Chain A
Amino acid sequence: MRTLALVFKRMLEGISLGLLVLLALIVVLAVVYRTLGMSLIWYDELASVLLAWLTYFGAALAALKRAHLGFTGILTGSPLPTRKVMFWFSELCVYGFVLVCAYAGWYVLRIFGSESLVSLPIPLSVTQSVVPIGFVLFAIAQLASTRSAYEELVLQTTVREDFH
């Protein structure tokens, strides 16, 4: 299980890092080409799509590390039974949200038909598929990090090093 979780983490890290590097390369390339008088017409559209992909793959990685911005002050200062209730309530909210978004994201892919980006022949159903994929990965990441988060926030014992 731990090995699977680590493979999952490395996969998210690799994809996110690749997207970040690609994004930086495209922006720099666009500046160079424009300086040479040959503006890249696809640059801003593709860069925007890459930003969205980086957002959702990175968000899954952040869920694995439990790094999404939040306020733990009240939970950590409460007695154990309250901490348990608050923790599981919060988990439930996260699963509810990401699963609804994953379903809705998958459902809307069919409406794009054969439409593609304006400047490149990439189908919109491919670019927008990051929403359902990203939220499913988010749910898996949340599940994989539940135990360490429970130990840290509810039991308030030392955090395992798996994802931090």
Chain B
Amino acid sequence: MSVLFGFIALFALILLNVPIAVAIGLVAIVGMVADNGFVSVYNAALTLFDGATNFPLIAIPLFILAGCLMNTTSISRRLIDFCLALVGFIRGGLAMVNVTVSLFFAEISGSAVADVAATGSVLIPAMKKRGFKPQFAAALTSSTASLAIIIPPSIPMILYGALSDTSIVQLFIAGVIPGLIGAGLMFLVCYRYALKYGIPKEVAFSLRNLARSGKEAGWALMLPVIILGGIFGGFVTATEGAGLAVVAALVIGTLVYRDLEMSQLYDALMEGVTQTATVMLLVATSAVLGLHLTETELPQKLTMAVTQVTTDPILVLIIINVMLFLLGMFLHGAAAIILTVPILMPLVNQVGIDPVHFGIILTLNIALGQQTPPVASVLATSCAIAKTDIWSTTRANLPLIGVLLLVLLLVTYIPAIPLTLVEMFYR
């Protein structure tokens, strides 16, 4: 009962504009003091430090740093030019470029907001000029960036892996096939849109043009090979892969392309520090909440309550998906992962759902949450670039949200889709 009261208090505080990390910490500390007296706050202080020292999470600031470095060099522009030569000959070419370039960015930065900031500032104005409605341009940039968080590397996957003690490398490889299926479906949505509004091809296909832009973007294209090759090849851990991404982006920006802009870099780095700290403070305060929940045995009680009703993984996943979808509308992705994973993992394990499979389901729910207002961080960034209203953009986004939902259903009920590569290479 006190736990239920705690959760009601938590959501009330969040709705009353208390920062989520503070709301989590407050509820946890008040709960601990109510149960065990004031001495619990000393335990909370120790947990606040320990919670922020989770080694795999070091990958988060490093991938954000790599994304900052990439965005302040010509790496983004070169990748866009290459994608234009690669898929720009298809009807509605710029929309196809948007999907393709997000796939490349996904393999480097790991953050959907970083992807939108990098690609949106170039592609959204270009799409508007080419006759795409601004709302569709914003919606597509936002949805492709969110789809990209299931393609490695992925910050939500790193968070989930660290919190649930699941292999981050296996999570990364499990996201590849669902990501490609989603990209294929988004291509179809774009093609249909281009037919409906009579949007032409962008450029004629030319092998010479492709080779030229491929050569110009050669080093940028090497980045995913270096990062993912290192991680999947077992040469480095996900954290060290993030470190390699920083070095590779720095070397390519300063020594190869020689166009790293220091003034822009400082602002981008400060933005990166802020993003890292906001997520990490959430992690730290949620560790205190986790301690409180362990004391109250909530995860075990929830597992018992659900398994008394059903132990069918399909039914359990339906319940979890609906809950995560609703939660995603009101919570930022990191907060949703941090709040739900410690509570749901015992249930997931009890009914026999593979933790890697569940990680991809959770990440897709986060991707959906990034597209569903009122709290839709990625969509909001995209709308800010396109100067569009979030609700009218959401209407334009419905077919693309439908794609994300379809991929979620496919991944949920056909575990082979995410797990085939994992079984093939790691089990």
A positions within 8 Å CB-CB of B: 13, 16-17, 20, 23-24, 27-28, 30-31, 44, 47-49, 51-52, 54-59, 61-62, 65, 67-75, 86-87, 89-90, 93-94, 96-98, 100-101, 103-105, 107-108, 127-128, 130-131, 153
Contacts and interface: CB of A to CB of B under 8 A. Distances in A.
Chain B interface extent, by class: 35 or more
Contact of A24 (B16, B246, B375): B246
A76 B133 CA distance: 29
A54 B208 CA distance: 47
22 contacts: A17-B269, A17-B273, A27-B242, A28-B244, A52-B49, A52-B53, A55-B283, A56-B277, A59-B280, A68-B21, A69-B19, A69-B20, A71-B15, A71-B20, A90-B18, A93-B13, A94-B18, A101-B41, A101-B44, A108-B45, A130-B49, A131-B45
A128 B15 CA distance: 32
A68 B281 contact: yes
Contact of A101 (B25, B244, B283): B25
Interface in B259-288: 269-270, 272-274, 276-278, 280-284
A17 B262 CA distance: 14
Nearest to B333: A69
Interface stretch (B54-62, B121-129, B300-308, B353-361): B54-62
Contact of B45 (A23, A57, A74, A107): A107
A58 B273 contact: yes
B216 interface: no
Interface secondary structure of B, over-half rule: helix
A97 B277 contact: no
What are the nearest 5 A-B pairs in CB distance? A58-B277, A27-B243, A104-B45, A68-B19, A55-B280
A51 B55 CA distance: 8
Contacts of A131: 45, 48-49
B17 interface: yes
Contact of A28 (B52, B243, B274, B375): B243
Contacts of A62: 274, 277-278, 281
A96 B23 CA distance: 11
Contacts of A74: 15-17
Given A27-B243, A58-B276, A69-B278, A47 B58 contact: yes
Interface in B221-252: 236, 239-240, 242-244, 246-247
A51 B282 contact: no
